[in-house]
Chains A and B, each alone.
Chain A
Amino acid sequence: MTESLMSPATGTAPDFSGLIARIRQSVPEHCILTRMEDTRPYECDGLSLYRALPPLVILPEDEAQVVAVLKACKAFNVPVVPRGAGTGLSGGAMPHAQGVVLGLSKLNRIYKIDPSTATAVVGPGVRNLAISEAAAPYGMYYAPDPSSQIACTIGGNIAENSGGVHCLKYGLTVHNVLRVRAVTIDGEIIELGSEAPDAPGLDLLAAFIGSEGMLGLVTEVVVKLIPKPACARVVMASFASVEAAGHAVANIIAAGIIPAGLEMMDKRAVHMVEPFVNAGYDLQANALLLCESDGTEAEVEHEIARMEAVFRDAGATRLQVSANEQERLAFWAGRKNAFPAAGRISPDYYCMDGTIPRRHLARVLNAIEEMEDEYGLRCANVFHAGDGNLHPLILFDSNQPSEVERAEKFGAAILELCVQVGGTITGEHGVGVEKIDQMCVQFAREELDFFCAFKRAFDPYNLLNPEKVVPTLARCAEYGKMHVHGGELRFPDLPRF
């Protein structure tokens, strides 16, 4: 499935024994994994379709060791693949067959939780949820909450610019990280951003967040904490069609309401999760919306009443407001367990991550339904309705001949559709290796060249996570060839050779 990978330098095999000897001077033996039984767990991330066995895995225990490993890898011209908890869904942490996996999970100390400055200082290996747990005694929390938050690390969140179900109101990782300390491939330590509201020079922090481990290795992070709202309640609304639900979402925003969370599930997704969690979802609905309000008691009561009125006017067939915290969590449990529920009804599932302008929702969901027949696979849709981020879950069985290939093609077709309606191929999971071909659809060659030039300013040797995110010209040309339909070129703008 993956291309054969060559060392970016010359195509010759790197001198691993020399590299290991050099790394041993600075990194303790138990942090260096070379035996296949030890390195096997690192052969893929959350996207297990793509695998490569890494020849060497290093798990440094402090920043000085990270610096030493990077300097050694630069000296020996060996690629470095950064890794957090390995929960990513785009193969961003897939190993390089001739490179080092540099895992930062041991840099997992929480240095400071400071309610008076509303900040936390943590190592990159600290789990997302662990920050909120440490801040809880002070009545505060860290806002971005990707669904993998019990396992994923803040370092990985920075690499992917992770979101979550609350990002319409509270923002993505880029809106909630104040400062990052990072090591470049040259082994130099840089401080990006600041605890002050801004920092002099170019805003490299904004560009570093979401850079998928291609610019540097994070060794320390300062995040913003926010006070926990006194109260939160959620409205669950049923609609007879996804169109009606889509209009209801537009009307909520048009009414000037920014919900704390706004999620949609289609009928298949509802039927998939309800037996799994017994959340009390309406099995008659063709689309279900979950809309959350948070704040003080009075604020929430006021806002919930406005939300209910909008949904009623938009033709909701059933409305239910969580009566207490237990019921609120039950309503959310279904949405948050969509992925495991998919795993229960289907041997495999493939989660897509396109984002679209919300007004095209019905068009896109109807087109996905038509594709189900074309590719002979089923698809359940969960959707961050507030911000337009779609997560179609393509259900397949990797033991059936050709189903993997059909799932991949189905996924690619969905992403191209997202670009066609003015959206993007990835909202929060990243490009990694998975969507590298679709980058050729979203970007022109000059734009991809700009990305390459941008990366060279940080990593002129192309050693950090090479062959991810930005496709080569040859790869785009090859991908274009596969997509000639009826003699018509799919991407007429693309230069060809």
Chain B
Amino acid sequence: MDFELSELCQQVMTARGAERPLYIRGGGTKMFYGEPGPAGIPGSAVLDMSAYRGVVNYQPSELVMTAKAGTRLDEIEATLDAEGQMLAFEPPRFGPESTIGGVVASGLSGPRRMAAGSLRDFVLGARLLDASGNVLRFGGEVMKNVAGYDISRLLAGSLGVFGALIEVSLKVVPKPEIEATTVLDVSESEALALFSAWRSLPLPITGTCWLREGEGQGRLYARLSGSAPAVQAGLARTGGERIAGDAASLFWNGVRDQTLPFFQQRPLWRIAVPPQAAVLDLGPTLVEWNGGLRWVAGSRAPDAQSGQALRDVAAGAGGHATLYRYDSRPSDVPVFHPLQPALLNINKRLKQELDPVGIFNPGRLFPGL
């Protein structure tokens, strides 16, 4: 075991011995996401993963990359780019310090998610520093692996409540031959109707975003990717006005990294619904993922009543609402949509079984978990 890793194990065993919480931190760019956890627990410490970095194994022809958790996302993307490959789930980049461990632990995906799959779909394996200070290996570097439970995918989006990711293996994909973006002037409901019509057709659409920019009913950006004939045929079917490659890259980076002006509003709700759900009418909205993701900007700080009302609308449409970014929030408005009691029970029992002393990121996923 190398020096950095044995240091990390020591820190975990110390925390366990003292029964004090450890907050896992990579680049610290996603501190805003999730429950902050109870503040001011005496003796709580930070498990800093950023020094545990480096690509461990990358075989382009195997479509797999394994990297230590503290490896920076931009380093990984540059390494893939040099071989004409990419992370298909386009994780948001909130800053240059962003690490691959944080990317996997938060489970967030970007514009390509509806076409390519979500982050967890690309997790092949993980090494986990668990609550006993052991380093465990789950999954591996192969595409198909059903030996034991699929723990590595469970860790995706778990916000570190079961331990620190030490290493992750991800499936990577070739970059598309060409990409083109077309823009249509349509309202939100017209955009949703187009998504429904496109869904049953073999169109190579790899990103959609509807938003209002200034006056007007709104604009729908659709990105098509693949071989030249496939993209040409797709553009003929979608219609709209094709925009230049540079402008398109700038726009999709703004959506992916959430740097567009829309994302600067507070509070910002992330509402995931079945893509066919009708217009939710909850305020200024940006629609992604062919209708499956609706970003809603609230007009004022949420309170228990308005938060619940919004969550009722999301749940009524078959989805859930996350209070994604906010300036202030009362303690009775949880960040994540409350779970069905039987499911919450299983979430709690898992935490109890896998981190019985409760040292890793307590309260980060749900209060009390």
Q: Give A residues with C-beta under 8 Å from B.
A: 115-118, 138-140, 160-161, 163, 167-168, 171-172, 174-175, 184, 188-192, 194-204, 206-207, 209-211, 227-230, 250-251, 253-254, 256-258, 295-296, 298-299, 301-303, 355-359, 384, 386-389, 422-431, 435, 439, 442-444, 446-448, 450-451, 453-458, 460, 469-470
Contact = CB atoms under 8 A, between A and B. Distances in A.
A258 B173 contact: yes
Nearest to B152: A206
Contact of B343 (A139, A204, A450): A204
Nearest to A249: B61
B275 to A, nearest CB: 7
A206 B120 contact: yes
B339 interface: yes
A195 B121 CA distance: 16
Nearest to A207: B154
Given A197-B289, A201-B365, A450-B130, 13 more contacts: A138-B200, A171-B121, A207-B149, A227-B200, A356-B142, A388-B62, A424-B145, A429-B146, A444-B137, A450-B136, A451-B148, A457-B349, A457-B354
Contact of B144 (A167, A192, A460): A167
A222 B201 CA distance: 20
B328 interface: no
Contacts of A451: 148-149, 151
Given A138-B200, A188-B342, A195-B274, A207 B150 contact: yes
A302 B175 contact: no
Contacts of A428: 144, 146
Interface in B138-188: 138, 140-151, 153-154, 156-158, 161, 173-175, 177
A388 B157 contact: no
Contacts of A356: 142
Contacts of A357: 59, 62, 64, 141-142
Contacts of B146: 160-161, 210, 424, 426-431
B55 interface: no
Contacts of A458: 346, 349
A251 B156 CA distance: 31
A207 B336 CA distance: 20
A167 B171 CA distance: 13
Contacts of B269: none
Interface of B: 59-64, 84, 107, 113-114, 117-118, 120-121, 130, 132, 134, 136-138, 140-151, 153-154, 156-158, 161, 173-175, 177, 196, 199-202, 226-230, 232-233, 272-276, 289, 292-293, 318-320, 322, 336-340, 342-344, 346-347, 349-350, 352-354, 365-366
A296 B226 CA distance: 12
A488 B90 CA distance: 48
8 contacts: A117-B276, A171-B117, A198-B272, A201-B344, A202-B161, A423-B142, A451-B149, A454-B353
B230 A118 contact: no
Contacts of A118: 199-200
A195 B277 CA distance: 10
A296 B230 contact: yes
Contact of A450 (B59, B200, B354): B354
A227 B202 contact: yes
Given A194-B272, A457-B350, A202 B158 contact: yes
Given A196-B318, A427-B142, A447-B136, A204 B201 contact: no
B130 to A, nearest CB: 7
B276 A206 contact: no
Contacts of A256: 84, 174-175, 177
B35 to A, nearest CB: 12
A359 B200 contact: no
- Give the residue among A140, A163, A192, A295 with the most B Cβ atoms within 10 A: A295
Contacts of B140: 422-424
Could you say which of B134, B158, B343, B354 has the most chain A C-beta atoms within 10 Å of its C-beta?
B343
Contacts of A254: 60-61
A396 B136 CA distance: 38
3 closest A-B pairs by beta carbon, nearest first, are A256-B174, A298-B229, A206-B153
Nearest to A458: B346
Given A204-B343, A302-B228, A431-B148, A230 B202 contact: yes
A386 B156 CA distance: 25
Given A203-B153, A387-B142, A358 B342 contact: no
A185 B343 CA distance: 14
Contact of B62 (A167, A359, A444): A359
A253 B61 contact: yes
Contacts of B349: 456-458, 460
Contacts of B161: 202
Given A203-B157, A298-B233, A457-B352, A388 B292 contact: no
Nearest to B84: A256
B227 A299 contact: yes
